[in-house]
Amino acid sequence: MNILRDPEPDAVLVTGGAGFIGCNLAHRLAASGRRVLILDNLSRAGVERNLAWLQATHGDRIDAVVADLRDRAVVDACVARAQAIFHLAAQVAVTTSLDDPAADFAVNAGGTLNLLEAIRARGDRPPLVFTSTNKVYGKLPGIRFVTHGERYVPHDARLAARGVTEAQPLNFVSPYGCSKGAADQYVLDYARTFGLPATVFRMSCIYGPHQFGTEDQGWVAHFLKRVLAGDPITLYGDGRQVRDVLYVDDLVDALLLAAERITALQGDAVNIGGGPENATSLHELLDRLPRLIGRKPVVRYAEWRPGDQPWYVSDTGLCTTRIGWRPRVGIDEGLGRLARWLGATAPAPAAHRVAS
Ligand SMILES: NC(=O)c1ccc[n+]([C@@H]2O[C@H](COP(=O)([O-])OP(=O)(O)OC[C@H]3O[C@@H](n4cnc5c(N)ncnc54)[C@H](O)[C@@H]3O)[C@@H](O)[C@H]2O)c1
């Protein structure tokens, strides 16, 4: 570091810190006394409200740079201040990536490379945790699925019981899958080739407060919001798709542990989700709602969407072994907390598409 030019690291950098996961992470960091530097271009509809809430709650512990990850000079300046880095900013919707693959690539792959290059240029390298996605495993080719009641399950009973490990071959599907997958591989390679203290979280479906879910991304919050408003829900496919949902507080625990114990994860990707005990099909999740929030969903059906996996459940064993993490919040408890937040929040913005 050039001490005549660069500032001393004084904050934890959260790219995408105004977004759903970033807001929850920034809140936890600031509540524990850390100074948080947020880099976010506020392109996701609604997230400006998260930023306003963070600043009102934590005052000058939250420092926001409203700018684009594609701007290398801004990224350099933010990285120069970072004691640790959580890289969450992204174009997050498969649907948007189909509309504009080039913009999706520029943000997710190009933006991540900007960040890696800025870290590489620093003498003392802060730990980096990158949020990748289970979409890097595609539709899990080679695995046969069968229906079992209201859900799909793998024919292989051991896989059904334990979930997908990191040994699953990569299989990028959709421009979003490719751009996140490229970023995932660049982060791992910068750890390998340049020695960056970096790890990759391949995350399943995360849900919780501060999520401005839409049809395109954030389906749990989207479903609850629609049902609370008495609006119908469109299920793409037959509703038997299975996901292992993870409550955001549990994810924040894992992110913080990973940064603290980065040497245990350096250069490796880990699968993160609710695991088999928090696996649910879309139908099964909707079936819980009358009991939990006193409303019955109205459902319509449409064609499957590209890249949609019939089943995905994470085996989180590697993360448990390496950093001692496991999820704690069950589905009923998490849905209840999200419903209470949605009930206490003004209607979400009209925009239903995620801008890049
Ligand atoms: N939520 C999930 O279920 C889930 C699952 C797997 C992976 N992920 C990954 O986790 C990360 C966070 O997801 P989230 O659910 O909080 O999404 P989000 O959309 O709520 O947050 C992303 C944030 O990034 C910002 N952003 C977008 N493009 C930007 C750019 N070019 N420059 C600067 N900021 C930009 C947005 O304004 C937004 O605040 C993403 O990388 C996403 O791919 C999320």
Going by alpha carbons, the residue nearest to atom 20 of ligand 1 is 19
Going by alpha carbons, the residue nearest to atom 27 of ligand 1 is 90
CA of 71 to the centre of ligand 1 (A): 17
Residue-wise pLDDT tens digits, 300-330: 999 998 878 899 999 999 999 999 999 999 9
Q: Which two tokens stand for residue 152?
A: 């799909």
Closest to 133 in 3D by CA, of 97, 182, 194, 190: 182
| Cα radius of gyration rounded to whole Å, the chain | 19
Going by alpha carbons, the residue nearest to atom 11 of ligand 1 is 88
Residue-wise pLDDT tens digits, 159-168: 999 999 999 9
CA of 322 to the centre of ligand 1 (A): 26
Q: How far apart are CA 283 and CA 274, in angstroms?
A: 17
Helix (H) or strand (E) run with residue 291 in it: helix 282-293
CA of 90 to the centre of ligand 1 (A): 4
Q: Which domains does the chain have, with CATH numbers?
A: 11-344 (3.40.50.720)
Going by alpha carbons, the residue nearest to atom 34 of ligand 1 is 40
* Residues present in the chain in total: 356
What single-letter amino acid sits at 117?
Answer: E
SS3 assignment, position 240: coil
Q: Taking the CB of residue 164, how many other CB atoms lie within 10 A of it?
A: 23
- Vertex 141, ends 135 and 146: CA angle to 5°? 100
The minimum-distance atom of ligand 1 relative to the CA of 206 is 3
pLDDT 10s per residue in the chain (356 long)? 444 556 789 999 999 999 999 999 999 999 999 999 999 999 999 999 999 999 999 999 999 999 999 999 999 999 999 999 999 999 999 999 999 999 999 999 999 999 999 999 998 999 999 999 999 999 999 999 999 999 999 999 999 999 999 999 999 999 999 999 999 999 999 999 999 999 999 999 999 999 998 988 899 999 999 999 999 999 999 999 999 999 999 999 999 999 999 999 999 999 999 999 999 999 999 999 999 999 999 999 999 988 788 999 999 999 999 999 999 999 999 999 999 999 877 444 444 333 32
Give yes or no: 176 in active site: yes
Among 14, 15, 21, residue to substitute to test ligand 1 (most atoms within 8 Å of Cβ): 21
Q: For residue 350, what pLDDT is reported?
A: 42
Classify burial at 77, counting beta carbons within 10 Å of its beta carbon; exposed 0-12, middle 13-18, buried 19 or more: middle
CA dihedral 330, 207, 278, 140 (to 10 degrees): -170
Percent of the chain with pLDDT over 90: 90
Q: How far apart are CA 209 and CA 187, in angstroms?
A: 28
The minimum-distance atom of ligand 1 relative to the CA of 354 is 19
CA of 88 to the centre of ligand 1 (A): 5
225 φψ region: left (φ > 0), alpha (ψ -120 to 50), beta (else)? alpha
Residues near ligand 1 (Cβ within 6 A)? 16, 18-22, 40-44, 47, 68-70, 88-92, 107, 111, 131, 133, 180, 203, 205-206, 218
Do 138 and 307 form a contact (C-beta atoms < 8 A)? Answer: yes
CA of 30 to the centre of ligand 1 (A): 20
Which one of the listed residues 137, 152, 176, 247 is annotated catalytic? 176
Going by alpha carbons, the residue nearest to atom 12 of ligand 1 is 88
CA of 291 to the centre of ligand 1 (A): 31
Q: How far apart are CA 284 and CA 286, in angstroms?
A: 5
Do 285 and 325 form a contact (C-beta atoms < 8 A)? Answer: no
